[in-house]
Amino acid sequence: MSGPFKLALADFAAKAKFNADLVIRKTIIDMCNVVIDRSPVGRPELWKRPAPEGYVGGRFRANWVLQIGAASAATTEAVDPTGEATKGQIAAAIPVEAGGKVYYLTNSLPYAWPLEAGHSTQAPAGMVGLTVLEFQTFVDRAASELN
């Protein structure tokens, strides 16, 4: 093959890859953002015991970590009550060429599993499981925004 047909195929392949990368990147960002938004932020007024002195909620939201190729066990003492800083870090971690990789969103705080299991009144059905059930909706929305 040579000539204009070969160039047209190469252009088509490049555009298809670029669009796939966009859909994958947007899907990952949107799903991670929803998990973070669904993550409870400590509200001491709802607790059975008083909060420790100086307590500031938002550590759970700050501990969502996106990593490519392997799950992270890292934790931080940072707090992010709104989740906006964490969302920014996650978006920045996703490469422009997003396809062909395995992404892991983890939260390694010891109370992450109980929260996912509904321990919090703010997230009685968890966060991650609900978001995974909506996966196809995220993909469809990202793909429809290409047009």
Where along the chain do its domains lie?
A: 4-144
Residue (of 134, 143, 138, 74) closest to 104 by Cα position: 74
- Which tokens is 25 given? 């990147």
The Cα 134–Cα 128 span in angstroms is 10
Per residue in 59-87, pLDDT (tens digit) is 999 999 999 999 999 999 999 999 999 99
Three-state secondary-structure class, residue 39: coil
Residue ranges in the chain whose pLDDT is less than 50: none
d(CA 36, CA 33): 5
Q: Where are the alpha helices (DSSP H) in 63-124?
A: 84-93, 112-116
DSSP 64: -
Q: What pTM was computed for the model?
A: 0.89
Phi, psi (5° rounding) for residue 82? Answer: -85, -25
Q: Which helix (H) or strand (E) holds 28?
A: helix 4-38
Q: What is the pLDDT of residue 5?
A: 65
